[in-house]
Amino acid sequence: MAGSGRLALGTLPVSGWVRGSGPAVLSRLRDAAVVRPGFLSAAEEETLSRELEPELRRHRYEYDHWDAAIHGFRETEKSRWSEASRAILQRVQAAAFTPGQTLLSPVHVLDLEPRGYIKPHVDSIKFCGATIAGLSLLSPSVMRLVHTQEPGEWLELLLEPGSLYILRGSARYDFSHEILRDEESFFGERRVPRGRRISVICRSLPEGMGPGEQGQPPPAC
């Protein structure tokens, strides 16, 4: 699929958006790797996309990343949002972060072209804290998590447009994560064709960092 579009999966139960190597890893990460399908309405998704498009157009797609984690991407950091978008981001904060967590500002925005992908990586504790939450726009995709010490333990998240994913705790520190390239984009036996994908990523502050100590390279999610 070259453009955007929602998969016809709206009747799936919540468990239908997450699959793993076995019951143990599914149980272990049940609260650490979470998908909230339909978190955004179609109108809210359009609001964010429309606001981001002019800023993203100022950048060219790149095929090298400072840590070689991303291919076919452009990105920006955004601090100022419209009132409607701020309301959406406040909902993300309430859904994904505990009251005691401080969020990094600005918000990281990552735009993958249809052939773009994110390689397996674990975000450095220097750049973000214990929780990462991302909104997926435009195209469905599959995020794969693999245990860094036990590669036979894995989890896959089906991320539809308008969905919210949350990685925290063990899913954040013990598992690498990646966005599959189009030719590998399957969720079980189901083909998930990749188009252009925008993710809007909120991150908690790294441990020991004050709100004014920012400016490091953002993670890829």
The DSSP string of 150-211 is -TT-EEEEEE-TT-EEEEETHHHHTEEEEE--GGG-EETTEE-----EEEEEEEBPPTT--T
pLDDT tens per residue across span 36-56? 999 999 999 999 999 999 999
**Residue range 18-204, CATH number:** 2.60.120.590
Q: Which residues of the chain fall below pLDDT 50?
A: 1-14, 215-216
* pLDDT for the residue numbered 38: 96
* pLDDT for the residue numbered 220: 59
pLDDT tens per residue across span 140-172? 999 999 999 999 999 999 999 999 999 999 999
- The pTM of the full predicted model, rounded to 2 decimals, is 0.87
* pLDDT for the residue numbered 215: 47
Sequence ranges of the domains in the chain: 18-204
